[in-house]
Amino acid sequence: MGKKDTRTPQQRKADRKRLSEILEQAGLQCNSVEDVQELFKDMVAMTLEGGLEGELDEELGYTKYDYRNKNTDNSRNGHTEKTLKSSLGEMEISVPRDRKGEFEPQLVKKNQTSLSGDIEEKILSMYAKGMSTADIEAHIRDIYGLSVSDSTISRVTDKILPIVREWQQRPLESLYAVVFMDAVHFHVRSEGQIVKKAVYIALGVAMDGKRDVLGMWVGENESAKFWLGILNSLKNRGVEDILITCVDGLTGFPQAIEAIYPKTEIQQCIIHQIRNTTKFVSYKDIKELMKDLKQVYAAVDEPAALAALEDFGGKWDRKYPKIAASWRDRWANLSTYFKYPSEVRKLIYTTNAIENFNRQLRKVTKSKSVFPTDDALLKMLYLAMMDITKKWTGRRQDWGLIHSQLEIFFADRIPE
């Protein structure tokens, strides 16, 4: 953000008058925005060159022509012309050299070809919003008058990868109220073939009610074994306890959670269960069947839900025998939310919180039907995640009530 102009209108007017006089004395005219931009570009180049000369003075220990204070066998050795890309367009500057080649300029580094904190930020911002490489190239050309190649965009975005690795290993809270876990799938090129990869995502709600993406991991198709590794990773990063986890119906998932966090309550997503058990129901039956099934998952308490499930089976078992059977088999993890008041129920009975996040990731990545590598997928998801989560500034409005209820249910596990 630029420095705020604190001058009075009178001071501003006087400064502009002086600038006009300077330009007139120099025989320079600014009749268009382009003229102003060229003048400003020359001023920036002059400032950079002055700064670089000052750096070399400090390196050598004496200023130019001040040989009396020279106390080194190194000396100046002319200049190298360098072209820098910037938001003002390309500019030429002269970079001073030393005879021994020991001078390492900091203002404009040796291999630096761009003044481009601003340009790189724009590339990352557009990449985070899912823009294609071709669109990014076109926008940079239109806005800055510069041409950027695929390799340049890749080089800029690759700078994110070490940051992603560091983010993936950062320490976490010791206790989370709820952790939602789900996977979203993307196509990635691997060894000459296009394969479907699962991105495993864990989204936590801390005890202060604020959400945080705990991690995103690229793996093969979703498996309980991979989730076990992720849970171990969370443990190693400092997560000592999770009060409630919300997961889909993946076989073996509850056992993986219990192996690492044996005290954690497991809530299987009701919406996933509904989708999985009704996907082959005839169109003419679906409305009535869903009405009967709602009596189960929207019941006031667990006994009422079990009674409704018996009624459902009595009515529909002959035609769709697997539906009620599946609900009975998974009841231990489907019914967890019945023990809590309505505010906590609304928070945990579906994985909507993480599915909404996944939906936003898909929206960003829709321009990429296939990712060239796992890293290319991960860096786009990370940038998209940063863009999405910067809006997560608060907590749920009803968090105070939820927290007080959790304190009662988990009194022995929540520190005072």
Please write the tens of the pLDDT for every residue from 140-166. Answer: 776 556 666 777 777 777 778 888 899
Residue 1: is its pLDDT beyond 60?
Answer: no
Question: Is the domain of 39 the same as that of 152?
Answer: no
Residue 3: is its pLDDT beyond 60?
Answer: no
Q: pLDDT band at residue 288, thresholds of 50, 70 and 90?
A: very high
Asked, for residue 260, whether it belongs to a domain, the answer is yes
Instruction: Single out the residue in 71, 98, 125 at which a domain terminates.
Output: 98
Asked, for residue 110, whether it belongs to a domain, the answer is no
Question: Is the domain of 256 the same as that of 303?
Answer: yes
Asked, for residue 111, whether it belongs to a domain, the answer is no
Instruction: Single out the residue in 46, 71, 98 at which a domain terminates.
Output: 98
Question: Is the domain of 82 the same as that of 231?
Answer: no
**Residue numbers of the domain that contains 46:** 22-98
Question: Is the domain of 59 the same as that of 140?
Answer: no
**Long-range CB pairs of 86-89, under 8 A, 24+ apart, other chains included:** 86/41, 86/44, 86/114, 86/115, 86/116, 86/118, 86/119, 86/144, 87/115, 87/116, 87/118, 87/119, 87/144, 88/37, 88/40, 88/41, 88/44, 89/37, 89/41, 89/144, 89/145, 89/146
Asked, for residue 249, whether it belongs to a domain, the answer is yes
Question: Is the domain of 275 the same as that of 229?
Answer: yes
Question: CB-based contacts of 142: which residues, under 8 Å, 6+ apart?
Answer: none
Asked, for residue 6, whether it belongs to a domain, the answer is no
Tally of domains in the chain = 3
Question: Is the domain of 223 the same as that of 347?
Answer: yes
pLDDT recorded at residue 138: 79
Question: Is the domain of 233 the same as that of 263?
Answer: yes
Q: pLDDT band at residue 33, thresholds of 50, 70 and 90?
A: low
Question: Is the domain of 178 the same as that of 278?
Answer: yes
Asked, for residue 9, whether it belongs to a domain, the answer is no
Question: Is the domain of 183 the same as that of 73?
Answer: no
Q: Give 255-297 as a DSSP string.
A: HHHHHH-TT-EEEE-HHHHHHHHHTTS-HHHHHHHHHHHHHHH
Asked, for residue 5, whether it belongs to a domain, the answer is no
Nearest C-alpha neighbor of 271 from the set 353, 339, 201, 328: 353
**Average confidence (pLDDT) over 1-25:** 70
Question: Is the domain of 135 the same as that of 250?
Answer: no
Question: Is the domain of 216 the same as that of 350?
Answer: yes
**Average confidence (pLDDT) over 85-99:** 81
Asked, for residue 15, whether it belongs to a domain, the answer is no
Question: Is the domain of 228 the same as that of 372?
Answer: yes
Residue 2: is its pLDDT beyond 50?
Answer: no
